[in-house]
Amino acid sequence: MLGAGATAWLASILYPISRYLIPPSVPDSNVTNVDVGSITEFPPNSSKIIRFGRKPVIVIRTKEGDFKALSATCTHLDCNVQYKTDTEQIWCACHNGFYNLEGTNLSGPPPKPLAPYTVRIANEKVIISSEEMS
């Protein structure tokens, strides 16, 4: 009886504290498209990380002039990846993980591919959207 009372008393203290420690979840702004700038801002064989809602996305212009957009968050331990211009691969410096330009994990510890985004060119502007790639 005393034990149950003590447990209930302790729970009545710990519960609000544990709830207090987790901040209220902020809903992600409903971003579906992001204008990342004009084509001229992306010379061939270059990249840029942009913000898509709360998430970082890496936009790559290949040597051939094609555009690719992928989640910039490494699927291993959350570091931001980078585009390696010499090997034309995506690399995570934190634990030496490699992906190809389709986002497929090639070597190192990353367990999953990078999520792809759709790239559209409209009026010389590069537009990234989260729609499923067709």
Partner 1 sequence: MKLYDWINERIDLDSAVKFATKKQVPVFYGTVWYYLGGVSLFLFIVQVFTGILLILYYQPGATTAFESVKFIVSKVSFGWLIREIHSWSANLFILFIFLHMFTVYFAKAYRKPREITWYSGFILLLLAMFFGFSGYLLPWNELAFFATKVGSDIAGAVPIVGDFLLKLLRSGDEVSGATLTRFYGIHVAVLPLVFTLLLGLHLMFVQLQGMSVPPEQENLPHDKRKYMPFFPNFATRDLLLWLIVLNVIALLAVFFPWELGQKADALASAPAGIKPEWYFMFMFQTLKLIPAHVWFMEGELFGIMMFAIAGLIWFLVPFLDKKANHGKKSLFWKFVGIFAIVFIVGMTIWGYSV
Nearest residue (CB) to partner 1, 4 versus 97: 97
Taking a C-beta distance cutoff of 8 angstroms, is the pair 79, 92 a contact? yes
128 binds partner 1, rule: CB under 8 A: no
**Among residues 17, 26, 122, 123, the one that binds partner 1 under rule CB under 8 A:** 26
Taking a C-beta distance cutoff of 8 angstroms, is the pair 72, 86 a contact? no
d(CA 119, CA 122) in angstroms, rounded, equals 10
Burial of 48 (0-12, 13-18, 19+ CB in 10 A): middle
DSSP state, 75?
Answer: T
Neighbours of 105 (CB within 10 A): 20
Nearest residue (CB) to partner 1, 4 versus 21: 21
**Among residues 60, 76, 99, 114, the one that binds partner 1 under rule CB under 8 A:** 76
86 binds partner 1, rule: CB under 8 A: no
Stretch that binds partner 1, among 6-14, 60-68, 77-85, 126-134 (CB under 8 A): 77-85
User: Which residues are at the interface with partner 1 (CB under 8 A)?
Assistant: 21-23, 25-26, 49-51, 54, 56, 72, 74, 76-82, 92-96, 105, 108-111
